[in-house]
């Protein structure tokens, strides 16, 4: 049942990303270009996401369980450390250069264009490289 719920949630999320034009790199880069030709169109998407997340965390965060009875796994670490800052910076740089982040990149694959496919391949290669680096470092003592 959880798989069906996850599929429905993912489909709704993808449809929402397409409707909000989050899958259009020009709109995203225009939103991120606050010093140039800023496009405020995605402010409403950001505000809607913040309100939805705030309500969701308030409703589920107190019980310790998801709405369907599974364990709710919230992060416990609240420290701002170098890996967090570096990861956020890399994410932001990649988002600003490509105009895609993972969710919209996946949703943009439905358009049939090559750019989101190249982005997803590059992201997958980066993830695999990071995982490989972790395995290589684990073997070094």
Looking at the whole model, is its pTM more than 0.75? no
Q: What integer pLDDT is reported at residue 77 of this predicted model?
A: 85
Q: What integer pLDDT is reported at residue 47 of this predicted model?
A: 94
Domains: count for the chain: 1
Task: HSE, CB side, 13 Å, CA atoms: give it for residue 64.
Answer: 1
Q: What integer pLDDT is reported at residue 139 of this predicted model?
A: 62
Q: What integer pLDDT is reported at residue 121 of this predicted model?
A: 94
Find the domain containing 131 and state its range.
2-139
pLDDT digits (tens), the chain, 141 positions: 778 888 998 999 999 999 999 899 999 999 988 898 898 988 988 899 999 989 988 887 677 777 777 777 777 888 999 989 998 998 889 888 889 989 899 999 998 999 999 999 999 998 898 888 877 776 655
Nearest by Cα to 15 from 107, 101, 105: 107
């Amino acid at each position: 049942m959880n798989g069906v719920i996850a599929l429905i949630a993912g489909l709704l999320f993808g449809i929402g990303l397409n409707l909000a034009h989050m899958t259009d790199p020009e709109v995203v880069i225009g939103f991120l270009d606050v010093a140039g030709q800023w496009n405020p169109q995605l402010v409403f998407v950001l505000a809607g996401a913040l309100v939805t997340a705030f309500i969701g965390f308030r409703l589920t965060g107190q019980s310790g369980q998801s709405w369907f009875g599974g364990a709710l796994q919230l992060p416990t670490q609240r420290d701002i450390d170098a890996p967090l800052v570096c990861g956020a910076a890399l994410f932001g740089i990649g988002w600003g250069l490509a105009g895609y982040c993972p969710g919209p990149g996946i949703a943009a694959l439905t358009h049939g264009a090559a750019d989101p496919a190249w982005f997803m391949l590059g992201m997958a290669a980066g993830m695999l490289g990071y995982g490989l680096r972790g395995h290589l470092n684990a073997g070094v003592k």
